[in-house]
Amino acid sequence: MHQPDYREPGSTRLAMPWVRLHALKDYLDMPLRAAAHDRVKVTFNLVPSLLDQLDLYAAGGLDRHLELTLRPADELHEAEKLEILDSFFCAHPQNMIEPYPRFQELFRKHAASLSKRAVLPALFTSEEIRDLQVWSNLVWIDPLFHDEEPVRMLMRKERHFTEDDKRALIDWQLALMKRIVPTYRDLYRQKKLDISFTPYYHPILPLLCDTESAREALPGIGLPKQRFAHPEDADRQIRMAVDRFADLFGEQLTGMWPSEGSVSEEALGLIRKNGIRWAASDEEILYQSLTKSSLDRSAFPLHAVYDHRGLRLFFRDHALSDKIGFVYSGWTTEEAVNDFIGHLHQLRQTYRDRLDRIVVPIILDGENAWEYFPGDGADFLETLYRRLAEDDTIETVTFSEAAETAEPHRLTSVFAGSWINHNFRIWIGHPEDNLAWDLLARTREMLVRISREDTRLDPAVVSQCWNQIYVAEGSDWCWWFGDEHRGLHNREFDKIFRRHLAYVYELLGQPVPMELLHPIHGETVASYTSMPDDILTAQIDGRVTHFYEWAGAGYYDCLKAGGAMHRVERYISGIHFAYDHNRFYIRLDFHDRKGLDLLAEPAIEIACFTPAPRVIRVTTGQHGWVDDRPGECQFALGDILEVGIERNFLWPGSYGPLGFTVSLLDADRRLEVWPENDPIEITVPEKNLEMFWPM
């Protein structure tokens, strides 16, 4: 359970509402559902800074969404009404808007009125705005609480809400949020669930220890100008988490999910030093660690407990975990649960001769998956827990239980990386990320210098300054810097990060450097092309099947490259490319997918320059889009175009150098070609000889 630290320095405001909204939808119902099944054991990982934000709400903290909700609809200014109309429909349309007729009605009216933005607030009455204020809060409440008052009454009433209705709903929200931590504490003490923590402000521990650790997975990565190597900060983040756990639960913290599953030899040493008995990461880290340890991968199972110098380690089953997180939401409950249980039965058969040492670690995000399931995943979770409890061939255990009881395999070395492609590229290496690290390093150096020079400084102020440094060390800021994650709130995260650092200068009475007043996001420009840093297998279905389907792919940014083309109208916005042992994959993203349908005879042409050049053409025919290489190429066109090309079609030996371009045509008229000059070049290695990291 994790959200970024949205607290604004020196105030009781939170910059975004997601802690509060996820508290209504995920933080309480999830442990209650799991604990209701006596034979089901679930471990919940909590981030201490998330708990701090829940405490802030309990003490009267506000976010902008909450402030606008509380404003009487009759007293709203035009700008406030427009802000509400712009932001109060932030919910999954299929599962959180369409099922509720009044919210659906307002949503569709808003969508139909966007072309009239200049007069948009005037098109909605105060009664409609008030109903929107209520529904934008109601839909975030998990079905487990729909029978509680006033939720039940408001859902039945559906419209014509009053200001008293709205106030009652907000009072109920705050009361529910106050139940969250006591519920975890009670269920933990009753041994109905286990709890682990993450380092306090969710930092990437290996990068705090030493930013050079990023080179283990990516030797050629460009790093910040200033090397950041402060294992004492990593140690402090862990110790603060250990202390917070002891305060809340009266016991020593036993387990830790390092932020984003990020581990290294030094980081794990600090975790072990602080009395923690187990930690977890991803299966790709295990595979690289076995290689680093000069151990035969095939002789060591993924589904086991490992021991590294006295610390027990788990490595998540990537496929099964991601099926819950990204795939099963599109399946029926019965299909999804049958598939999951079926995989466990297959693993049991595979390991039938050594079942006493087999543990299957399932680890995933605790909050963001469920809005994509009907009913916030209630039916799926209830069915899954029931089936697990009834199955005599499967035993669920907490991570702490497995760490104590399962005989471990010994792991002599650990590879430095995260659960995402076993590297740290998300958080370091892009010019925006590197600038953020440099700003953090300079601010930290200033704090150390001033603290040494001015012995009259109030210790409470110095402590407050260090807290701002620790907040700024959190992973979430660099998650949104760089090219990997572009969303509606990048600039907001940029602003919050710089505000935390600027506040250190303000607390110390120092002038705030101009560089902290300029945005990081969007200020730096990377190369048009980045190379793949992992092999992957894409599902050819014309859509991004799950968030990390194309993680690790290479990318050509047509938006940046387009500056040289001076085109007013462009269709293709970006090209992803990757490969696995059988296929080479290309994905096209579009500015506006519907634009293709307006062309008379649209076609996509992929020219591949290999020892025997190949051209693949996807065109429209009588029965839709078709390709001219059936059996050698598979494609699907939906929101995106995904193409899988057989490697043995491109090269006689299935590997070698490749240059390729992508063209969009209308009949014989070539509308676009990417890249405009030289093709995208890549060398695909022989199978099983891929080297994205030192072996």
Each residue's pLDDT tens digit, 140-197: 999 999 999 999 999 999 999 999 999 999 999 999 999 999 999 999 999 999 999 9
Structure tokens at 42: 């679930």
Q: Which residue has the higher pLDDT, 528 or 348?
A: 348
pLDDT of residue 569: 56
Q: Is the pLDDT of residue 524 over 90?
A: no
Q: Rounded mean pLDDT of 66-92?
A: 95
Q: Rounded mean pLDDT of 389-398?
A: 96
pLDDT tier for residue 622 given thresholds of 50, 70 and 90: low
Straight-line distance from the first to the last Cα atom of the chain, in angstroms, rounded to the nearest whole number = 34
Q: Is the pLDDT of residue 677 over 60?
A: yes
Q: Is the pLDDT of residue 42 over 90?
A: yes
What's the fold here for domain 529-684? Immunoglobulin-like (2.60.40)
Which residues have a Cβ under 8 Å from the Cβ of 266 and sit 6 or more positions away?
A: 206, 209, 210, 213, 231, 234
pLDDT of residue 224: 97
Q: Which of 246, 249, 29 is nearest to 146 (CA)?
A: 29
d(CA 330, CA 373): 7
Q: Give the tens place of pLDDT for each residue, 329-338.
A: 889 999 999 9
- Paired residues of 590 in beta bridges: 572
Q: Up-side HSE of residue 127: CA atoms within 13 Å toward CB?
A: 5
d(CA 13, CA 23): 17
Task: Judge whether 343 and 391 are in contact, CB under 8 Å.
Answer: no
Q: Is the pLDDT of residue 568 over 50?
A: no
Which amino acid appears at position 124 of this protein?
A: F
Q: Give the tens place of pLDDT for each residue, 319-370.
A: 999 999 988 988 999 999 999 999 999 999 999 988 888 999 999 999 999 9
d(CA 128, CA 134): 10
What DSSP character marks residue 641?
E
pLDDT of residue 564: 35
Q: 55: how many CB neighbours lie within 10 A of its CB? A: 13
Structure tokens at 73: 């609809």
Which residues have a Cβ under 8 Å from the Cβ of 132 and sit 6 or more positions away?
A: 84, 85, 88, 103, 106, 124
pLDDT of residue 378: 97
Structure tokens at 502: 């600027």
Residue with tokens 């499967």: 394
Q: Is the pLDDT of residue 291 over 80?
A: yes
Q: Is the pLDDT of residue 485 over 80?
A: no
Using a 10 angstrom Cβ sphere, with 0-12 exposed, 13-18 middle and 19 or more buried, the burial of residue 565 is middle
Q: Up-side HSE of residue 363: CA atoms within 13 Å toward CB?
A: 25
Q: Is the pLDDT of residue 404 over 60?
A: yes
pLDDT tier for residue 610 given thresholds of 50, 70 and 90: confident
pLDDT of residue 98: 93
Q: Is the pLDDT of residue 374 over 60?
A: yes
Q: Up-side HSE of residue 160: CA atoms within 13 Å toward CB?
A: 2
d(CA 470, CA 668): 59
Query: Which of left, alpha, beta for 656 (phi over 0: left; psi -120 to 50: alpha)?
Result: left
**What distance lies between CA 654 and its chain's CA centroid?**
34
Using CA atoms, how far residue 466 sits from 11, 54, 226, 452, in Å, is 17, 22, 19, 14
- Cα angle for residues 200, 201, 203 (degrees, 5° grid): 105
pTM metric for this prediction: 0.80
* CA-based torsion, 645, 648, 654, 658: positive or negative: negative
What's the fold here for domain 431-516? immunoglobulin/albumin-binding domain-like (1.20.1430)
pLDDT tier for residue 628 given thresholds of 50, 70 and 90: confident
Q: Is the pLDDT of residue 668 over 80?
A: no
pLDDT tier for residue 598 given thresholds of 50, 70 and 90: confident
Q: Is the pLDDT of residue 121 over 50?
A: yes
Which amino acid appears at position 413 of this protein?
A: S
* Among 168-177, 251-260, 636-645, the least confident range: 636-645
Q: Is the peptide bond before 150 cis (omega within 30 degrees of 0)?
A: yes
What DSSP character marks residue 218?
-
pLDDT of residue 483: 73
* Among 192-206, 231-245, 546-560, 617-631, the least confident range: 617-631
pLDDT of residue 158: 97
- Paired residues of 589 in beta bridges: 574
What is the enclosing helix (H) or strand (E) of 208? helix 205-209
Under CATH, which architecture does the 194-364+371-410 domain have? Answer: Alpha-Beta Barrel (3.20)
Q: Is the pLDDT of residue 526 over 70?
A: no
- Paired residues of 684 in beta bridges: 656
d(CA 503, CA 664): 50
Q: Is the pLDDT of residue 380 over 60?
A: yes
d(CA 86, CA 106): 12
Q: Give the tens place of pLDDT for each residue, 229-243.
A: 999 999 999 999 999
Which amino acid appears at position 518 of this protein?
A: H
Q: Up-side HSE of residue 412: CA atoms within 13 Å toward CB?
A: 6
Which amino acid appears at position 599 of this protein?
A: L
Number of H helices, E strands in the chain: 24, 21
* Among 149-163, 558-572, 680-694, the least confident range: 558-572
Q: Rounded mean pLDDT of 540-564?
A: 81
Task: Judge whether 607 and 613 are in contact, CB under 8 Å.
Answer: yes
User: Whole-number mean pLDDT of the chain?
Assistant: 92
Report the 3 state secondary structure along 46-103.
Answer: ECHHHHHHHHHHHCCCEEHHHHHHHCCHHHCCHHHHHHHHHHCCCCCHHHHHCCCHHH
Q: Which of 6, 126, 26 is nearest to 366 (CA)?
A: 26
Q: Is the pLDDT of residue 604 over 70?
A: yes
Pairing of strands 669-674, 633-637: unpaired
Q: Rounded mean pLDDT of 35-60?
A: 97
Q: Is the peptide bond before 675 cis (omega within 30 degrees of 0)?
A: yes
Q: Write the DSSP string, 251-312.
A: S---EE--GGG-B-HHHHHHHHHTT--EEEEEHHHHHHHHHHTT--GGGS-SSS-EEETTEE
Q: Is the pLDDT of residue 542 over 60?
A: yes
Q: Which of 579, 578, 577, 659 is nearest to 611 (CA)?
A: 659
Q: Give the tens place of pLDDT for each residue, 463-483.
A: 999 999 999 999 999 998 887
- Paired residues of 196 in beta bridges: 45
Which residues have a Cβ under 8 Å from the Cβ of 197 and sit 6 or more positions away?
A: 45, 46, 47, 48, 241, 242, 244, 245, 253, 255, 256, 257
Structural domain spans, the chain = 13-189, 194-364+371-410, 431-516, 529-684
Q: Which of 634, 663, 618, 606 is nearest to 541 (CA)?
A: 634
pLDDT of residue 691: 58
Q: 570: how many CB neighbours lie within 10 A of its CB? A: 18
Q: Give the tens place of pLDDT for each residue, 267-289.
A: 999 999 999 999 999 999 999 99
Q: Is the pLDDT of residue 658 over 60?
A: yes
pLDDT tier for residue 597 given thresholds of 50, 70 and 90: confident
Which amino acid appears at position 11 of this protein?
A: S
d(CA 566, CA 390): 64
Which amino acid appears at position 424 of this protein?
A: F
Q: Which residue has the higher pLDDT, 401 or 487?
A: 401
Pairing of strands 656-666, 278-282: unpaired
Q: Which residue has the higher pLDDT, 376 or 546?
A: 376
Q: Up-side HSE of residue 182: CA atoms within 13 Å toward CB?
A: 6
Percent of the chain with pLDDT over 70: 96
Which residues have a Cβ under 8 Å from the Cβ of 690 and sit 6 or more positions away?
A: 535
**What distance lies between CA 514 and its chain's CA centroid?**
31
